[in-house]
Structures are given as structure tokens and as C-alpha cells.
């Protein structure tokens, strides 16, 4: 394989991963026949990625924990995608070289006249994809907590980056990726492809293909634990070409490894027209349907901040010594300056050293889309062409005349100006103002508990009851109307009886009392996250004998001394009455009252004419208001 | 202020900067919000378009920080400190406003009267 005297032969290092792949017959060696520098760069990259991919496969086969397996599968997917991208780039370069040879032979190609726009940095950050859970799923939270692991792959040109992996279940309202991804060399016609991959996060990963509905029927009929395993084992097979992320038959196949496989859930393509200095919402194209195990109910949009810094805005385009004269000013005086063209201005410094010393320029001439630059006629005395720059400053035209030291300099400056204008016309809105791009800070060590929106992670598996809306144990809550809501709802919690009531007040990362929708209870026997429905909680309270004879405080009425007298509700013995009508009117009056209440333990100086109800009572009322989908929630901030 | 999905939303906005006020353990802004993509937009009393799921100011505490800064009831909040609020859930909106380590929030809000003012001023000075 290695022949010193034949320079046209490809040299593949012995023992490299590439050689192994060639031996295995996965690559055609002819693909690597050219030894130009670019090709060897790409070869090295492909080599590197193949090594990474082999490592990920080994890790996947070896690891036992679900989180590790998901991470390994994610790196596998990323490596595969990168390999495919490099291969196709290699292919394109081959074709370009062949084309060049052909054109060179056929005709004398003149110097390429086309002007190329400058490249720039493109950064995408703060990706957020809202989810749209059904009312029934979200509020009642019945059944298994179906979780998916998701991440995004972002591809621009030849660069592919992946975001961190996020576990999503129905307690989350959005998928958020905190990463900032910066692509260094992007042309103005860039296409940034964003792909969202997801993978069902269950126990077994053997291949198989059963629609989810059938699987859930099976699982429910087989009994909970057996059925869950069975259902997890049957997820849509990974063998279809689509699930390989669009692998084309030319390229090497993804090695089939047992373990979690990611499937493409949604994608979109962003370009220069989507670039803006603030957040924008973009549409997502969703692939997959409800039957797939990796399905998540996406709202259909994605919010992100896409910023671009073309190099013409951040780098010096040209600099040199000039003499500047302002028309309309003193006709004889022209100032000698050292001028630097950068961004939308021509900075004129007194001396060259001022540029490094960061001293303010003597003056600045704007060079933007409205500027007109032309070369003036030759000055008969000095035989040097001048350059005139005209700007409109609020209705008045101001012209500066630049004189360079030689004719070549003039030509150089004009060329630079033309290139600059061309860049600005190509990069359009990115050249109006410099957009800020935050460089991703050096990675902080991952927190011990994954930061998720789910309550379970923040709590830790402690056997305590969390009354997340109040920091004190539930005080005797004597509001019987709340019991009405639970009239026909089934109780989902089965751990009510032996739940301990120790308050858990200070949790790591706990934002505010009423910040999350789910109540948790983890008794010593199960550590699964359970979101209790309001009904279950209320029936528990009722069971403890808290019902009967409650005062109902509302902000618009003075605190009633007797039971329900002031309230315009017909029912007087609410526990016995379970008519839906009463329930409805009760809840609506409650909600309208509670919505004007303040949340949390502090109410600002409103001058509200009510005695402060206890926190638990008010917060429980708020909880009901929040969970009832008929309401239009209001929150005090 | 209806929007077409996929199209950019344009609105005349006013910048409002609110300094949070320390009250006990909390930093408060002194107003209430309603709305969100997980809420029923038909019940929003302030929106013109009853399919608008944006975040609206529903109440202002008189004399509170928001009142002092010029926020008005019925304003639609478009951005908070650069974060978009036109497509957020109610909870996320509340969280964006109540971050503990931020002492000041800069809002971009829009209201009907702003559009009116701009239209009127444009009529006064027609393009020449």
C-alpha cells in the first residue's frame, strides 16, 4: 500500500482505523486517490470520527446504566452524521477537481472574475421547543410517565455540532437547550439545518416493531410490570433507512448495536433571512407520528436566537495612510490620518500606534449602505486620483475627499470599498449593527443531579410529602367546596394512607412556592415520581377529617364569620351534594376570586379588604385554579 | 395583534424598565400576568384577537414598581430581558419575570394606543 516513488498513490497509514475499514470492505480505496492537502485533512477528520464511533459502539455495548447508554447512542449518532457529511464533502471535492481538470484542458480559463463575499460567524443559542401535552395527560397525569431523551444536531456547511441531551416527560412544558453553538466560517448563503432526535427512554431496547397503541393494550392487559417491559421491548425498529438519519446507500452503514437508537423527530432549515439580534420563532417540520415510541407532542415551532457576525464587521478590511479633506470645510486643509476600514465606518486615527493603543480616532466617516463612493477625476497637478465619500447626515450631504500616496494605493482602496459594499449587500441585515455573539463559556462540571424541570429531580428520593405550595404542614383546611371537585374523579394515588407529613421546605434549586404543577409523594416503598391529581390530594385531606365547616376567604368580600352565607352558592352542605352544576359554579366563583389573589406567601400592599387567609388555604385554592383547564390563569409577579 | 404562524410578528413597542422591589424574601414587580400557550385565549379580556395566546398584564399594583415604570393594564409583553414572550407557557413567563438574581427587568410591551399614536404622527408628516 505504501509506495514511495508513486506520488499519486494514496498513503493509508498502517494500523489506522481507515485501513481496517478498507480491509473490511466498507470503503472503496479509490475514494482516497488524491493526495492534496485538503483531502488529507478530511481523511484525518474521517479517521478521527471513525475512531470515535468505534469507541461509542464499545461503550454502548459495555454500559449498563440507561443514562450512559443514551449518551453513548447520542455520540454514535453524531459521529455517524459527521462521517456522512465528510464523505459527501470529499465526494464533492473530487467532482470539483475533475471538473477543473476538464475545463483547464478545454479552454483557457481566464481569471475568475466573480467576487466572493466574506465569511462570517453564525451563532445559534437558547433553543427552545414548546410541547403541547393534552389536557388529560398534563393535568391528571395518569398512567406511566413516558420519557424521551432528546438532543439537537446542528449542521452548517461541513460543521456538525450536537447539543446536550435532555430528558423530557410530560411534566415539562418546553424542551430547552442551553448550549450556544458557533459556526466559524459561514458564507451568506448558509443553510443551518437543525434536527431534533429523540429516543424513548425505557428499559429494553431489543429491536421489534409494534405500534404503540397495540403495545399499550398488551401492557395493560398483561399486568403492569410485565406489560411495561413488553411494551418497552417493542418499539419501532431502527432498520428503516429514515431512522439512520438519512443514510444514503453509498456511505457506510451504521453499525447495528443493541442499545437505544435515536430517531429524527423534527427538523428545520434556517438561513440568512432568519438571522436577527433577538429571539424568533420558526416552524418545525415534524416527522413521525403518534404511533412511534419516540413521539413527543411538539407545538410545531422552535424559538432561538440566530445571530451572525460577518468578518467585514469584525475585522479590518484595509488600512493605510491617507489625506482626508472635508468638502465645505477649509479648502486648503487636509488632515493626514491613518485610516482603518472596519464594520460600517472608516476610522481615522492620528497615528498608526493609536489603533493598538485603543485611543479614540480623530474622526469617523460612515461607510454603510447609504454611502456613495466614487473616484474623482485626476488632479491635473499631482496626477493622483482622489476618492470621494458622500454621506447623508440628516438631509445634508457631507463629502470627504481621500487622497492616497500612489495610484496603486487608490486602486487598492477602491477595490476594498467595492468588496466591502458587496459584502454588505450579501450579508444584508447583519451589517446594520454588530450582533453580539456570546462565546460558550468553558464547560462547568455537570451538576450531580440533572437540571430538569421535573420536580422529581430537584427533590431527590426522600420519603417525605411535599406540599409544594406551602412551607408549613397543611393546616386544617376547612373548605368543603373543594371536595366537590373530586366527586366523580377516581383516586390515582395509592400511597395516601401511609404518607408522612413532614414538611420539606428547603430544596436545592426550589424556585418559589407555587412554581410547579405536580405534587409529589414518595413513600418508602416506591421511588417513582408521582404527580398526584388534585382530586387525590383533596380526598386525602377530606379523609383526615378536615372537611365540614370551612371559612371561605375571598378578596372581594369581608371574611365571613359563618360558613357559606355570603357566597352566592346554593349548596349549604356541600359534602353531600355532588351535582355537577354546583361544582361548576363553585369552581368558577373560586377561580375568579383566587385569580385576583396574590400567589405565594407575600401579598404586596394592595389594601385588600380581607384578613389574610392562611397560606395553605390560599395556596390550595390557587392550586385548584391553576389545574382547572377552564380557567385563564393569572400570576402575580 | 394577531399573528400568522411562521411569519414575523411586527408591533410598535415601548421599552419599560422596572426595578424590582425587595419585600421580605422576594423581589416583586407589582403586577399580574395572564395568558400563555397553555391557557385558554378566549378568556383574555385584554386581547383584541381572541386567539392571541400572548402574555398580558392583567393588574397593576398602584404605586408598585411596575406602576412607577409606566406599565399599564392590558399591555402585551413581547420580551423580557431579551427573552421572547410571544410563545411561552404561563409558567415560563412567570419564571422569566421572577428570576432571583435579576434586580431589573426590561420589558418590551405593546398596546393598542401605541399603534394609534404612530399612525397619527405618520399622518401628520406625510412622506415628501
Three-class HEC string of A328-396: CCCCCCCEEEEEEEECCEEEEECCCHHHHHCCCCCEEEECCCCCEEEECCCCCCCCCCEEEEEEEECCE
Task: Give Cβ neighbours of residue A386 (< 8 Å, ≥ 6 apart).
Answer: A375, A376, A379, A401, A402, A403, A410
Residues A66-86: b if buried by 16+ CB within 10 A, e if exposed: beebbbbbbbbbbbbbbbbbb
Q: How far is A75 from chain B (nearest CA, A)?
A: 30
Q: Which of B8, B34, B64 sits opposite A634 (nearest CB)?
A: B34
- Return the C-alpha cell found at A121: 460567524
Q: Do B92 and A511 touch (CB under 8 A)?
A: no
CB–CB contact A279 B84 (8 Å): yes
Mean pLDDT, to the nearest integer, of B90-117?
90
Asked whether residue B87 is domain-assigned, the answer is yes
Q: Report if residue B3 sits inside a domain.
A: no
Which of A493, A482, A450 minimizes the C-alpha distance to A586? A482
In chain A, residues with a C-beta closer than 8 Å to the C-beta of B16 are none
Chain B residues in contact with chain A using a Cβ-Cβ cutoff of 8 Å: 5-6, 8, 23-26, 28-40, 43-44, 58-59, 61, 63-64, 79, 82-84, 86-95, 97-98, 100
Is residue B2 situated within a structural domain? no
Q: CA-to-CA distance for A70 and A58, rounded, in angstroms?
A: 13
Question: DSSP string covering A201-256, please?
Answer: --S--------HHHHHHHHHHH-HHHHHHHHHH----TTSGGGGTS--TTSPPPP-
C-alpha cell at A74: 447520542
Interface contact A604-B23, CB threshold 8 A: yes
- Cα angle A589-A595-A601, degrees, rounded to a multiple of 5: 125
DSSP single-letter state for residue A533: -
Asked whether residue B8 is domain-assigned, the answer is no
Contact A604 B91 (CB under 8 A): no
pLDDT band per the 50, 70, 90 thresholds, residue B115: confident
Write the CA distances from A415 to A372, A374, A508, integer angstroms.
Answer: 14, 11, 60
Q: How far is CA A410 from CA A344, A375, A400, A407, B96, in A?
A: 20, 9, 15, 5, 54
Nearest chain A Cα to B45, which residue?
Answer: A632
Which residues does chain A have within 8 Å of residue B87's beta carbon, measured at their own beta carbons?
A: 130, 281, 299, 301, 303
Taking contacts as CB-CB distances below 8 angstroms, the residues of chain A near B34 are 632-635
Nearest residue on chain B to A510, alpha-carbon basis: B100
Mutate to test the interface with A, among B38, B47, B62 (most CBs of A within 10 A): B38
* Cα maximum dimension of chain A: 109
Label residues A284-309 b or e (16+ Cβ within 10 Å = b).
bebebeeebbbbbebbbbbbbbbbbb
Q: Where residue B23 sits, what CATH number does that domain have?
A: 2.30.42.10
3 state SS of B56: strand
Q: Distance between CA atoms of A469 and A590, rounded to whole angstroms?
A: 17
**Full residue range of the structural domain in which residue B82 is found:** 13-124
Cβ-defined contact of A633 to B28 (cutoff 8 Å) = no
Q: Which residue of B33, B37, B97 is in closest CB contact with A634?
A: B33
B32, A635: Cβ pair inside 8 Å? yes
Bridge partners (DSSP) of residue A123 are: A182, A307
Test A637 with B98 for CB contact under 8 angstroms: yes
Query: Cα distance from B123 to chain A (closest Cα, Å)?
Result: 21
Chain B CB contacts of A632 below 8 Å = 34-35, 39-40, 43-44
The distance from CA A214 to its chain's CA centroid, rounded to whole angstroms, is 33
Nearest to A528, CA basis, from A627, A473, A454:
A454
Q: Is B6 part of a structural domain of the chain?
A: no
* Chain A contact probe: residue of B39, B41, B91 with most A CBs at under 10 A: B91
B19 pLDDT higher than 50: yes
Please give the span between the terminal C-alpha atoms of chain A, in angstroms, as a whole number.
72
How much is the CA Rg of chain A, to the nearest whole Å?
34
Residue A288 half-sphere exposure, CB side, CA atoms within 13 Å?
A: 32
- CB-based contact B32 A633, cutoff 8 Å: no
Name which of B33, B44, B98 is nearest A512 (Cβ-Cβ): B98
Q: Tell me the three state secondary structure of residue A98.
A: helix
* Overall number of domains in chain B: 1
Taking CB atoms and an 8 Å cutoff, what residues of chain A touch B82? 278-279
Contacts of A606 in chain B (CB under 8 A): 61
Grouping H, G, I as helix, E, B as strand and the rest as coil, residue B106 is: strand
Q: How far apart are CA A325 and CA A329, in angstroms?
A: 8
Residue B116 maps to a domain: yes
Q: Which residue of B has its CA nearest to A636?
A: B32
Interchain pair B6, A283: CB under 8 A: yes
> DSSP states of A164-195 as a string?
--EEE-TT-SEEEEEEEEEEEEE-TT--EEEE
Lookup: cell for A590? 373560586
For chains A and B, count residue pairs whose Cβ atoms are closer than 8 Å.
Answer: 98
The three-class DSSP label of residue B119 is helix
Report angle CA A264, A268, A273 to the nearest 5 degrees. 165
Chain B closest-CA separation from residue A633 CA (Å) = 6
Nearest to A171 by CA among A126, A216, A137, A196: A137
ipTM over 0.90: no
Q: What is the DSSP letter of A30?
A: G
pLDDT of residue A24: 67
Which residues in chain A touch residue B29, judged by CB atoms under 8 angstroms apart? 637
Tell me whether residue B1 is in a domain. Answer: no
Phi, psi of B6 (to 5 degrees): 95, -15
Buried b (16+ CB within 10 A) or exposed e, A423-433: bbebbeebbee
In tens, the pLDDT along B32-86 reads: 999 999 888 888 889 888 888 999 999 999 999 999 999 999 999 999 999 999 9
pLDDT at residue A228, rounded to an integer = 54
For residue B94, is it within any domain?
yes
Measure Cα distances from A118 to A46, A58, A286, A398, B58 in Å: 27, 42, 34, 29, 49
**Residue A492 to residues A44, A213, A496, A579: CA-CA distances in angstroms?**
57, 22, 10, 22
Least confident of A41-45, A593-597, B97-101, B123-127: A593-597
Say how many Å lie between the first and final Cα of chain B, rounded.
29
The distance of B21 to chain A (nearest Cα, Å) reads 10
**What 3-state class would DSSP assign to B19?**
strand
Q: Which three cell numbers stand for residue A135?
A: 389536557
Give per-10-residue mean pLDDT for chain A (637 aa). 49 65 59 62 88 87 84 89 89 86 58 73 90 72 74 89 88 86 88 90 49 51 53 44 36 61 89 86 86 84 90 86 75 77 85 79 82 75 76 80 83 88 86 79 47 38 39 39 36 38 38 38 40 46 43 36 38 39 38 38 38 63 68 85
The nearest alpha carbon in chain A to B18 belongs to A637
Give the residues across from A151 on adjacent strands. A197
- In this structure, the number of other CB atoms found within 10 A of the CB of residue A369 comes to 11
Amino acid at each position: 500500500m505504501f509506495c514511495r516513488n508513486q506520488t499519486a498513490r494514496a498513503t493509508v497509514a498502517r494500523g489506522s482505523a481507515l485501513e481496517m475499514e478498507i480491509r473490511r470492505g466498507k470503503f472503496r480505496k479509490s475514494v482516497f486517490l488524491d493526495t492534496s492537502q485538503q483531502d488529507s485533512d478530511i481523511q484525518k477528520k474521517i479517521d478521527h470520527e471513525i475512531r470515535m464511533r468505534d469507541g461509542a459502539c464499545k461503550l454502548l455495548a459495555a454500559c449498563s446504566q440507561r443514562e450512559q447508554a443514551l449518551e453513548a447512542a447520542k455520540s454514535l449518532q453524531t459521529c455517524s452524521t459527521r462521517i456522512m457529511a465528510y464523505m459527501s464533502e470529499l465526494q464533492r471535492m473530487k467532482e470539483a477537481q475533475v471538473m477543473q481538470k476538464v475545463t483547464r484542458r478545454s479552454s483557457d480559463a481566464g481569471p475568475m472574475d466573480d467576487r466572493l463575499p466574506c465569511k462570517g460567524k453564525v451563532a445559534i443559542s437558547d433553543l427552545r421547543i414548546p410541547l403541547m401535552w393534552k389536557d388529560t395527560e398534563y393535568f391528571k397525569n395518569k398512567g406511566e410517565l413516558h420519557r424521551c431523551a432528546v438532543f439537537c444536531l446542528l449542521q452548517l456547511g461541513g460543521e456538525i455540532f450536537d447539543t446536550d441531551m435532555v430528558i423530557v416527560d410530560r411534566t415539562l412544558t418546553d424542551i430547552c437547550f442551553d448550549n450556544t453553538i458557533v459556526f466559524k466560517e459561514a458564507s451568506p448563503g448558509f443553510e443551518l439545518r437543525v434536527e431534533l432526535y429523540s429516543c424513548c427512554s425505557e428499559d429494553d431496547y431489543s429491536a421489534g416493531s409494534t405500534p404503540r397503541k397495540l403495545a399499550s393494550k398488551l401492557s395493560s392487559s398483561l399486568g403492569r410490570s410485565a406489560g411495561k417491559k413488553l411494551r418497552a421491548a417493542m418499539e419501532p425498529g431502527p432498520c428503516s433507512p429514515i431512522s439512520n438519519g438519512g443514510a444514503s446507500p453509498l456511505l457506510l452503514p451504521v453499525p447495528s448495536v443493541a442499545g437505544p437508537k435515536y430517531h429524527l423527530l423534527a427538523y428545520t432549515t434556517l438561513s440568512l433571512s432568519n438571522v436577527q439580534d433577538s429571539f424568533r420563532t420558526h416552524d418545525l417540520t415534524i416527522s413521525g407520528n403518534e404511533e412511534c415510541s419516540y413521539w413527543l407532542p411538539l407545538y410545531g415551532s422552535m424559538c432561538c436566537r440566530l445571530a451572525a457576525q460577518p468578518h467585514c464587521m469584525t475585522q479590518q478590511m484595509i488600512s493605510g495612510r491617507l489625506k482626508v479633506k472635508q468638502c465645505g470645510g477649509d479648502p486648503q486643509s487636509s488632515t493626514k490620518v491613518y485610516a482603518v476600514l472596519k464594520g460600517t465606518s472608516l476610522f481615522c486615527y492620528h497615528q498608526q500606534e493609536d489603533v493598538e493603543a485603543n485611543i479614540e480616532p480623530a474622526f469617523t466617516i460612515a461607510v454603510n449602505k447609504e454611502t456613495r463612493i466614487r473616484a474623482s477625476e485626476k488632479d491635473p497637478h499631482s496626477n493622483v486620483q482622489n476618492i470621494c465619500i458622500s454621506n447623508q447626515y440628516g438631509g445634508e450631504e457631507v463629502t470627504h475627499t481621500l487622497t492616497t500616496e500612489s495610484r496603486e494605493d487608490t486602486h487598492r482602496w477602491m477595490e476594498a470599498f467595492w468588496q466591502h459594499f458587496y459584502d454588505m449587500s450579501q450579508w444584508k441585515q447583519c451589517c446594520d449593527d454588530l450582533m453580539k455573539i456570546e462565546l460558550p463559556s468553558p464547560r462547568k462540571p455537570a451538576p450531580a443531579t440533572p437540571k430538569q424541570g421535573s420536580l422529581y429531580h430537584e427533590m431527590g428520593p426522600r420519603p417525605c410529602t411535599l406540599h409544594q405550595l406551602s412551607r408549613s404542614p397543611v393546616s386544617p383546611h376547612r373548605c368543603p367546596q373543594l371536595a366537590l371537585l373530586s366527586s366523580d374523579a377516581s383516586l390515582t394515588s395509592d400511597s395516601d394512607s401511609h404518607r408522612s407529613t413532614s414538611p420539606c421546605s428547603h430544596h436545592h434549586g426550589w424556585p418559589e412556592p407555587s412554581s410547579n404543577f405536580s405534587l409529589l409523594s414518595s413513600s418508602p416503598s416506591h421511588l417513582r415520581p408521582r404527580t398526584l391529581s388534585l382530586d387525590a390530594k383533596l380526598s386525602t385531606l377530606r379523609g383526615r377529617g378536615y372537611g365540614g365547616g370551612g371559612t371561605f376567604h375571598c378578596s372581594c368580600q369581608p371574611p365571613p364569620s359563618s360558613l357559606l352565607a355570603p357566597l352566592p352558592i346554593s349548596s349549604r352542605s356541600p359534602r353531600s351534594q355532588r351535582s355537577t352544576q354546583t361544582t361548576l359554579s363553585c369552581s368558577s366563583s373560586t377561580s375568579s376570586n383566587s385569580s385576583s389573589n396574590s400567589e405565594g406567601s407575600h401579598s404586596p400592599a394592595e389594601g385588600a379588604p380581607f384578613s389574610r387567609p392562611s397560606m395553605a388555604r390560599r395556596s390550595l385554592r390557587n392550586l385548584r385554579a391553576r389545574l382547572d383547564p377552564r380557567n385563564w390563569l393569572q400570576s402575580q409577579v | 395583534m394577531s399573528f400568522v404562524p411562521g411569519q414575523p410578528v411586527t408591533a410598535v413597542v415601548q421599552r419599560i424598565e422596572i426595578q424590582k422591589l425587595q419585600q421580605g424574601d422576594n423581589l416583586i414587580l407589582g403586577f399580574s400576568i395572564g395568558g400563555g400557550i397553555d391557557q385558554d385565549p378566549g378568556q383574555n379580556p385584554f386581547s383584541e384577537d381572541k386567539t392571541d395566546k400572548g402574555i398580558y398584564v392583567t393588574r397593576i399594583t398602584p404605586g408598585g414598581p411596575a406602576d412607577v415604570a409606566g406599565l399599564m393594564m392590558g399591555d402585551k409583553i413581547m420580551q423580557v430581558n431579551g427573552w421572547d414572550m410571544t410563545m411561552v407557557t404561563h409558567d415560563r413567563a412567570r419564571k422569566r419575570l421572577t428570576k432571583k438574581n435579576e434586580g431589573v427587568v426590561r420589558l418590551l410591551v405593546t398596546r393598542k394606543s401605541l399603534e394609534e399614536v404612530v399612525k397619527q404622527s405618520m399622518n401628520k408628516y406625510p412622506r415628501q
